[in-house]
Amino acid sequence: MTVQACAGANLLQLALEAGVHINAACGGDGRTRREPASDSDTEPRPPEETEEPSGLEPLDREVVTIWFPSSRSAGLAGEPREIFATASPADRAKQIVADLIAGPETDAALPALPPGTRLRQVYVLEDGTAWADFSAEFLAAVGTGSSDEIRAVYAIVDSLVLNVPGIDRVGILVEGAPCEGSGGHLDLRRPLPPDRSLPEVAPAEPPPPEGGEVPPEGEGRETAPAGDAASVV
């Protein structure tokens, strides 16, 4: 056999061997073999979540009576305010104290708390005790032993107890500590029940609208029929 013939035979042998390997890699039938699909490729994907409306309805409002020191008597004068009717006694209490800090809107009432007083927190316990924690400015309202101090304290106590179900007594804290107070008239180290003798019989009427006057009797105001005594609730 010549050299050329030997070289040709070797090339033919190499080609045949290469064909066997290629055929095996293709699965024996000449077709390319594919790997089986993974589970992640075959499982259906869940649809993308879309944000749905929360369905929360706006909170109702209710009218409460905030009690301030009266400018006409030694008691407390009431003014109506609107608060959110939340289910939490602490949330209601915070709204009421915020109105106390904001001050009265009529001449019949005086500010209950010193300027700059801030409410730090309100805690309501399961036994009906509420603790109102004020900033240090509150101390200007106590320590004198005067009637003004008594009315300032009971403006807080009565406003909370008489308006918030679940609150039966109120304690005062200053910067997180019990308030020593008050010249012997009030023991502020313990929660106080309301003094129902201090609120005046009827809440103070809101002031007339600007530019207008309250019409006299007989001109747009209802009066009690003659001979009938007007009842006070």
Q: What is the pLDDT of residue 167?
A: 98
Instruction: Write down the pTM of the prediction.
Output: 0.63
Does the pLDDT value for residue 218 go beyond 50?
no
The mean-pLDDT minimum among 113-127, 134-148, 163-177, 184-198 falls in 134-148
The predicted-structure confidence for 109-133, as pLDDT tens digits, reads as follows: 999 999 999 999 999 999 999 999 9
Q: What is the pLDDT of residue 221?
A: 41
The predicted-structure confidence for 141-160, as pLDDT tens digits, reads as follows: 886 667 888 999 999 999 99
Q: What is the pLDDT of residue 20?
A: 45
- CB pairs under 8 A, 24+ apart, for 143-148? 143/181, 143/182, 143/183, 144/182, 144/183, 145/182, 145/183, 145/184, 145/185, 146/183, 146/185, 147/74, 148/69
Tokens encoding 202: 């009827």
Binned at pLDDT 50, 70 and 90, residue 210 comes out as low
